Every structure is written in C-alpha cells, then in structure tokens.
Chain A
Amino acid sequence: MASVELTNVRKVYAGAVEAVKGVDIAIKDGALCVLVGPSGCGKSTLLRMIAGLESITDGTVKIDNKVVNDLGPAERDIAMVFQNYALYPHMKVYDNMAYGLRNRGMPKDQIDKRVREAAATLELTHLLERRPKELSGGQRQRVAMGRAIVRNPKVFLFDEPLSNLDAKLRGQMRVEIKNLQRQLGVTSVYVTHDQLEAMTLADILVVMNAGAVEQIGAPLDIYEKPASTFVASFIGAPPMNLIPVTSDGSGLILKDGTRIGAQGLAVTDKDAIIGFRPEDLEVATGTESHVGGLLLDLKVLGVEPVGAESYVYGIIGGERVVVRVAGRSVSQPDDHLRVIIPKEKLHLFGGNGKRL
C-alpha cells in the first residue's frame, strides 16, 4: 500500500524532444489514477518512468514517500500489465506467475500457495499447466493480471491493458479490473486512450495533451467542467460541440454572421468558443423561457438511431454539431429546429481554448 507522487516530472529525449513537460500528480494510497490522452501525449512515457523502464530527466517520482528516481524497476516494488501482456511464451501459466517470486527467493511452498490463490481469484486454476499460446486473448489478459497480483506489490501499473481485446470482453474486463483493484486496495496507475475506460475506472482522472497535464480531477467533475476545449472534446462521446464565436461587446456573433442573444454571458474576449454537450440541447416548443440560455437555429443533416437514443447531426451557425435525443428522433434531414442551450449547461472558452 503506498501513495504515488510525481513532482515536476520531465522527460527529454536525445535531440531535445520534450515528451513529458513538468507533470505534477499526487495519487492517494489505494486510488486508481487513469492517465488518458491521444497517442503521443506522453502518458505511456510517464507510466514507464514510474515503472523505472525510462529514465527521469528532471523532477522526482515518489512511491510510498520515498524518492525512487535512481531505483531499478525491480526495486520499486511495482507490477506492470503490458498492452501485449508480455507473457513469457516458453513458460506455463504457473511459471509465468511464479517467475517474479522465484527471482526474489521465496520458498517453494509459499510460491505455490500464492500462485494458487491468485489463480483462484482470477479463475485461472484450470489453465495453470497451459502455455500462453494455448490461451484466448481474455485468458492471457487474466494471466498478466495474475502475474501482477501474485507479487502483492505497492503499485500496479497498467499500460493500455485492454486495447487488444474485442469490445465486449473489454467491457467485461474493465469491470473486473475495477473490482479487483478495489478488493486489493492497491494504488494503481492506468494508461488508456479510451475515454470511456478512463471515465468508468478512474478515481482520479488525468487528461494529458502534448506532454502536459490538461486537467486533473474526478471523472465527472472533468466531464461537467472541462478546463479547456481539448478536454471538452476528448472526454465524452460523442464529444462536446464547440462553436467559435466573436464578441463585439454587445453580443455574440456566429461564424456565418448570425447574432445571438447572450444575456448574462460575460464574454470579454474578442474571440471565444461556446460549448455544449450533445445531451444538453432542448428543442424549443415556443413556450419555455430561455433567459440566459441561447436560442439557436439548427439545420438537420442526418439522424443516426442507435436504439435507446438517436444522434441528430446538424449545423448551427456554420458549425457541425451533434445532438443526443432519447429514443427515436422524428427529425428529418433539412428540418429546421429551434434549440435552446440552458445557461447552466453552457461552457465558455476563451480564444486560447481555456475555460472562461
């Protein structure tokens, strides 16, 4: 059990490529921290720096209040689950799980006990004598998990562990990982590019972009109050609609020249971006008040019914938007709708993309 603390961690590769630019993250004991971001944002590099597989250019990494910068991966008491599982192909499942314990000189009977316990937890007992190539993707994933938990480490590190599984299995394993992590109470760092995985797993969510942290917080806080347009468009599916506007002091003007009422919206920047979640639009019936909200004209381009809900694609002020409607939508392409964005659902970003 341990906390993990990163202070101003930087990674500069030869050739002066700054992969990680001064990251501060504090993870409480037992929490599951998810690093999420597009590929190349430095999240995997950061994880590998915590693991000790990548050197730390600057800053400190603390595990259990101890600086581990100069310790090798074996001495940090961590376990890692790799994207490709990294199971030893020439060893049976049992030996895969026992390998780390044997290297640490644990007595045989204890190894046996631990491996069998971990195998029972993960329902792997009947597979212990098999080799990795005789297992399905989901089973291999479990073995990789088993190899991590059998060591009983201070910290679990997950490097996109579910991205090689099919969608159905991924959902299932996601729940299992969450439960297992809760049950064992081991501090974990989990890297993914899948925002759904990030939202559902995280106790603390770290959104990264281009080597820097964009926002840290509880998943729903981030969803409700994204700190920047990047976070707004990365978290949530479909992503938040973002419409660039200009302000002339008396109101907001859309790209196509439409002037929209913006009572109570304090926009001082000349350029700004208004954002709203696809589920936050209401179709105006003409009677409701929209004080402080925005009343906009939406031209429907197409409708995608996916069962429980429908996505209506349209254009507002020259920008493409998507609206999530419960059940079936009656809209047809080329329909014109009057829609309202309630004031409390409206997100405002400055011209630089930061939340106002």
Chain B
Amino acid sequence: MASSTRVTFPNKFLPYLLLAPQLAITIVFFYWPASQAIRQSVLREDPFGLSTQFVGLGNFKRILSDPNYLNSLQVTVVFSIATAVIAMGFALMFAVMADKVIRGKGIYRTLMIWPYAVAPAIAGMLWLFLFNPSMGTFAYMIRSAGYNWDPLLNSGQAMLLVVAAAAWKQISYNFLFFVAGLQSIPKSLIEAAAIDGAGETKRFWTIVFPLLAPTTFFLLVVNTVYAFFDTFGIIHAVTGGGPGKATETLVYKVYNDGFVNLILGDSAAQSVILMVIVIGLTAIQFRYVERKVHYG
C-alpha cells in the first residue's frame, strides 16, 4: 500500500485531541484499576478497610506457597487449553462444512452465530439445567445409558461440563472468523490444488489450513484470553468452582478470595500475577507462534 502518502495535521494539538477519548477510556478502565491492584497487592487490609499495612511482597510469597493457588493454576491450564482447542477445533470443522453448503448458506451461518449472543451466565445455567444430575435432560439420558454421571461430586465430570459450556459459547465467535478466513482464500487456489492431484483432505491440510494461519493465530490469542477471563460467569453458574476446588480457575479464585473471603491483599496479588501471566502468554504467542504464520 501507499505508505508514502501520510496525512499530516498542521495543528499540533489536533492529533492528541483525536486520541483523547480512547486514551481516557483506557486510562479510566484499565490503567487506573490495574495500578490500584498493584498498590493493593503490596498492602494488607482488614475486611472493613479500617487498617492498612504495607507488607511488600508478603502477599505474593504467601500465595505462591499456597497449594490451593497452585491447584488453581493447574486447573486454569487444563481448562484453558481444553476450551481453546475444543472451541477452535469444532468451529473450524463447522466452518469448513458450512463453506460447502450452497443452498441456505446464510441461514446456516446465522444459526451458527446465535450462541454467541447468549450471556455467559445464561449459557452456564443452560448447561447446568441440561446436565444437572437430579433434573437435567441430558443427565437423565447419560445415566440411562449406564454411565454414572454426577458433576456435583465427580471433579473430572465437573471440569468436562464447564469446558463444554465455555467452548460451546466460544464456537460461534470462532466460527465467524473461520468462515471469513475461508472466504478470503481464493477459489482458484483450491482448484489449482485439485488439478495438481491433491484430494480433499490433502488440500485442506496443505493449502487451506496454512492459509488460515493468520485467523487461527488471532483466535488462539483471543481464546486464551477468553478462557482466562470471560469464563467466570459460566464457572460461577455451573460449578461455583467446585466440587472441592476442581474447577476453580485463577480468575475465579481472585473473585472468591477478594469478594467472598474479603482477603483483599491476596486477591490483588493474584490479579497482578494473572496480569503478568496473560501478558507473558500473549508475548510468547506473538514472538514464537506468529513467526510461523504466513500473511497472504
């Protein structure tokens, strides 16, 4: 593109004025709370906020040696990887299949996108009702098939349920992007590959999938962040972090410690660590994964 034709404003303050609304929002809703969290993380405060004491890295030391915290870290890793892989895998499969539909393409796509409009807590409730061991329709079917289904007691099944609910909700979003990604691949490339003797599966893995890499990479970042942060509502509605602490992710623990147990210092320290983890993850994704991505 024409990079040489750059617009320059004669007025020195205009650019800053134009940026101001975005900057203001970022400062108020991100930097300010983030700095508050960092401040809180080095303080110890009683639940009523009457006395505050500076403890340095004490909060961090205690969290990192807490087996509950390490458990929650592990839960998060399992939950995030499973959610991202399942959500992206299914979305890709659906997108490829929807791409082949010729009649009623629009209807299929619209139907596929709907779940995205469902709020996380509602989605969670939906799955909870369907799979609740005492009244869920699917739970009944699973049990009549001879399988001992009880996510209220079985931690593996609880994890399965929250992963399914979280992935289900994200599939629509991923689907949308994969469909767009597939559409941006010129038909003639697929045809050329067909003439070149590549069967359908081979075409997918040697032509389509590599060309979808930018989309896949973008979704990987988005899904990771989603699994880390946006799944709070689902976990809260479905399992509440239980049974035991089997589905307590980092974000859920931040909420639990801060707003339920009112250990503000610990909660703040956890959110600072969480922030560092996500920044680190994204940096790694951009540094190492993006290198393998070919932008067309």
Q: Which residues of chain A have a CB within 8 Å of any CB of chain B?
A: 51-53, 72-74, 78-80, 82-84, 86, 88-90, 99-100, 103-104, 133, 147, 151
Contacts and interface: CB of A to CB of B under 8 A. Distances in A.
Contacts, number: 60
Interface residues of B, number: 20
Contact of A103 (B189, B202, B211): B202
Contact of B196 (A74, A83, A84): A74
A73 B193 CA distance: 10
A52 B191 CA distance: 10
B191 A53 contact: yes
B132 to A, nearest CB: 47
B189 A86 contact: yes
Given A80-B192, A82-B192, A84-B188, A89 B294 contact: yes
B198 A103 contact: yes
Contact of B195 (A80, A83, A89, A133): A80
A90 B202 contact: no
B207 interface: yes
Contacts of B294: 89-90
A51 B207 CA distance: 20
A90 B196 contact: no
B188 A89 contact: no
B210 A51 contact: no
B189 A88 contact: yes
Return the 10 tightest CB-CB contacts between A and B, nearest first.
Answer: A100-B196, A103-B197, A86-B188, A86-B192, A74-B197, A90-B294, A73-B195, A90-B210, A82-B188, A73-B194
A258 B103 CA distance: 59
Contacts of B195: 51-53, 73-74, 78-80, 100
Nearest to B190: A86
Contact of A84 (B186, B194, B197, B199): B186
A88 B192 CA distance: 9
B189 A74 contact: no
Contacts of B104: none
Contacts of B199: 74
Contacts of A133: 296
B200 to A, nearest CB: 10
5 contacts: A74-B194, A86-B191, A88-B207, A89-B211, A89-B296
A74 B196 CA distance: 6
A53 B206 CA distance: 19
Given A73-B191, A80-B192, A80-B195, 18 more contacts: A73-B195, A79-B195, A82-B191, A83-B188, A84-B186, A86-B191, A86-B192, A88-B193, A90-B210, A90-B211, A90-B294, A90-B296, A99-B193, A99-B196, A99-B198, A100-B195, A100-B197, A103-B198
A89 B202 CA distance: 17
Contacts of B189: 86, 88
Contacts of A86: 186, 188-189, 191-192
Interface string B268-296: 00000000000000000000000000101
Contacts of B213: 90
Contacts of A83: 188
Nearest to A133: B296
Interface string B194-238: 111111001000110011010000000000000000000000000
A86 B196 CA distance: 12
A92 B17 CA distance: 46
Interface in B172-192: 186, 188-189, 191-192
B187 to A, nearest CB: 9
A82 B196 CA distance: 13
Contacts of A51: 191, 195
B193 to A, nearest CB: 7
A58 B288 CA distance: 54
A147 B197 CA distance: 13
A79 B244 CA distance: 63
A79 B196 CA distance: 8
A84 B296 CA distance: 14
Contacts of A100: 195-197
Contacts of A99: 193, 196, 198, 206
Nearest to A99: B196
Contact of B194 (A72, A88, A90, A147): A72
A104 B186 contact: no
A222 to B, nearest CB: 30
A73 B186 CA distance: 18
Contacts of B192: 80, 82, 86, 88, 147
A226 to B, nearest CB: 33
A53 B194 contact: yes
Nearest to B194: A73
Nearest to A82: B188
A247 to B, nearest CB: 51
A185 to B, nearest CB: 21
Contacts of B207: 88
B182 to A, nearest CB: 15
